[in-house]
A and B are shown apart, each in its own frame.
Chain A
Amino acid sequence: MELKAYAIFIIAVGVGVLYLARRDYLRGLLSERFTLLWALSTSTGMVLALVPEPFVALFRRAGVINYPSAPITLAILFLFLLMYVTSRRLGLLTQTLRRLVVTDALYQLKLQQEQRGAAVQGPVSGS
């Protein structure tokens, strides 16, 4: 197993993303699903970086020569970071939306309580 510079770089980025995903999960910013996505994808990326030979053969057969080359690696890393930022935003949006749903539900409840109160009191007659 040959540890090249790009492999060290990918592993460092993978560990960083895993750390960020864990931190954001514990803060409630990432859902389990996205955290799992990050855990699986970065782990796979790190394995690919560490043991490239079988995967290089696969990529070569698929027509992608010399994987993992620098441009492809950089493109994958860029995609990783883009997806990470997007999923974090989505996590925040989901939490915000759920809070709004609860606020709306409590408003509906209050309205129904008022309607029941009004029904019990009966119609108000004018003086």
Chain B
Amino acid sequence: MPDPTIAPAHSAPGAAGGPDAKLGFFIPCLNEGRSIGGVVTAIRRHFPGAPVVVVDDGSTDDTQRLALAAGAYCIRLASNMGIATASMVGMACCVELGCELIVRLDGDGQHAIADVDALIRAWRESGADLVTGSRYLRGETYTTPFRQLGIVVLRFLLRFLYGIRVTDPTSGFRLYTGATARWLLGRRYPVDYPEAEELADLCLARRFKIHEAAVSTNPRVEGTSSITPFQSGYFMLKVCSSLLLRRVLVLWS
């Protein structure tokens, strides 16, 4: 099966992320047996030949078997290690497979595969190093009021502390260039929830361009979110303190 190639308008032929850039996907997931097969199949139908790496973060259902049956590589973690470690593993596998454009998405089917084209288009047009899919650019607000409040707080912190203007800082639907992924992996990858912290780290490095693209979110068809309201509050506390601390420590140094 041929490798899919993406032809960006801004890149020189042969350059990293250039016309021959290889596209790859990784999906960190936990107990997504009901939807993972469909997600992998949809990716392989839309992007034939693109490697798909499913990182099974200690599922107790048949996520691993179904992902492998659908044609993905499936990396099984020894125990539940959290979204950050699962993302780090998925990214490392895509880099190992030689992918120069790496897309991360969720295994619950909420991210529309057709929107990957929107991420790629945004990358082509902006030349960004990281393109995040935003659920809010189209005016959609599918989430709970509590989570919405958390997102508003994170938006404010990222803008106030780091000067990043993003509408959806917790979006797990994003596209990395190979160079960005290698840079993120080459340093200490965030330990907890990586989405907002990745943005902060890339901003502090002062050489990465971040861009947003409008994407849609499908309602969750199967299963329930592994994040409870209590965990959402704890998550907010941790991420906010981490963003604040990062900024203070870097300013201090």
Known interface pairs A33-B238, A95-B188. Does A109 touch B245 (Cβ–Cβ under 8 Å)?
A: no
Q: Is B55 an interface residue (CB 8 A)?
A: yes
The one of B76, B191, B241 in contact with A94, judged by C-beta atoms closer than 8 angstroms, is B191
CB pair B96 A26 closer than 8 Å: no
A56 to chain B, nearest CB (A): 30
State which residues 30-62 of A face B: CB under 8 Å: 31-33, 35-36, 39
Interface bin, chain B: 20 to 34
Known interface pairs A26-B253, A32-B191, A101-B85. Does A106 touch B245 (Cβ–Cβ under 8 Å)?
A: no
The one of A33, A94, A109 in contact with B73, judged by C-beta atoms closer than 8 angstroms, is A109
- Looking at chain A's contact residues, the main secondary structure is helix
Known interface pairs A28-B187, A36-B241, A109-B96. Does A22 touch B78 (Cβ–Cβ under 8 Å)?
A: no
Interface string of B217-244 (1 = CB under 8 A from A): 0000000000000000000001001100
What 5 A-B pairs are tightest by C-beta distance, nearest first? Answer: A28-B188, A32-B242, A105-B89, A105-B75, A102-B92
Chain A interface residues toward B at CB < 8 A: 22, 25-26, 28, 31-33, 35-36, 39, 94-95, 98, 101-102, 104-106, 108-109, 112-113
Chain B interface residues toward A at CB < 8 A: 53, 55, 68, 73-78, 81, 85, 88-89, 92-93, 96-97, 187-189, 191-192, 238, 241-242, 245-246, 249, 252-253
